[in-house]
């Protein structure tokens, strides 16, 4: 079996959530790694929520479905396929909820050479059948040549 070649990337992660008249947003920058294994591409990075709370996030892309896997103080597994409602799960130390995502837009472009890559994802999200609004996620990726 061929070993996956890992590339370091710098990334900017932006999320906006629109729910009726209310909107919320957050963003962060981090470093991660991008690699190809089998027929899928993987982006792995860490989200730090506080000094002692972090989540290891993996995005797995097979050309049709983007799978979001989070492990740490939050466990989450959610797939995204354009035009389809997909089921997932969101788990905290206190509770576990069923999730549903109806994906409106999904664009995945990995960085190559000197070009930047990006992921853009727009979806409607439900937690235990309660709508949480429309989520817009943007990641800007750039190969990290400093490591």
Q: In percent, how much of the chain has pLDDT > 70?
A: 95
Which pTM value belongs to this model? 0.90
CA neighbor of 59 nearest in space, from 1, 108, 15: 108
Residue 134 belongs to some domain of the structure: yes
Cα distances (Å, whole numbers) of residue 45 to 8, 71, 74, 108 = 10, 11, 14, 16
Residue 93 lies in a domain: yes
| 70 located within any domain | yes
In a domain, 1, yes or no: no
The DSSP 8-state label assigned to residue 95 in this structure reads -
Q: Is residue 82 in a domain?
A: yes
- pLDDT tens track for 49-102: 777 778 899 999 999 999 999 999 889 999 999 999 999 999 998 999 999 999
Q: Which domain holds residue 30?
A: 6-143
Number of domains present in the structure of the chain: 1
Q: How confident is the model at residue 87, as a pLDDT?
A: 97
Cβ contacts of 51 within 8 Å, gap of 6 or more: none
Q: What is the pLDDT of residue 4?
A: 65
Are the C-beta atoms of 125 and 101 separated by less than 8 Å?
yes
pLDDT of residue 103: 98
- Per-residue confidence band for 112, with pLDDT thresholds at 50, 70 and 90: confident
Who has greater pLDDT, 39 or 79? Answer: 79
* Model pLDDT, residue 3: 60
Rounded Cα–Cα distance for residues 33 and 50 (Å): 22
Q: How confident is the model at residue 1 (pLDDT cuts 50, 70, 90)?
A: very low
* Per-residue pLDDT at 115: 75
Is residue 37 included in any domain, yes or no? Answer: yes
Domain harbouring 55, CATH code: 2.40.128.20
CA angle, corner 127, sides to 125 and 139, nearest 5?
40
Q: Looking at residue 53, what is its pLDDT?
A: 78
Mean pLDDT over the full length of the chain = 91
49 in a structural domain: yes
Residue 102 lies in a domain: yes
């Amino acid at each position: 079996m061929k070993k996956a070649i890992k590339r370091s990337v710098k990334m900017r992660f932006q999320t906006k959530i629109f729910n009726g008249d209310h909107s919320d947003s957050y963003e962060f920058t981090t470093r991660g790694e991008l690699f190809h294994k089998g027929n899928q591409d993987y982006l792995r990075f860490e989200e730090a929520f506080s000094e002692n709370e972090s989540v290891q996030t993996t995005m797995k892309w097979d050309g049709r479905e983007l799978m979001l896997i989070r492990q740490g103080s939050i466990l989450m597994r959610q797939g995204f396929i354009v035009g389809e409602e997909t089921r997932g799960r969101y788990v905290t130390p206190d509770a576990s909820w069923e999730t549903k995502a109806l994906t409106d837009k999904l664009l995945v472009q990995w960085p190559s050479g000197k070009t930047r890559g990006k992921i853009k994802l727009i979806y409607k999200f439900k937690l235990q059948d309660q709508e949480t609004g429309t989520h817009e996620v943007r990641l800007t990726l750039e190969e990290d040549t400093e490591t």
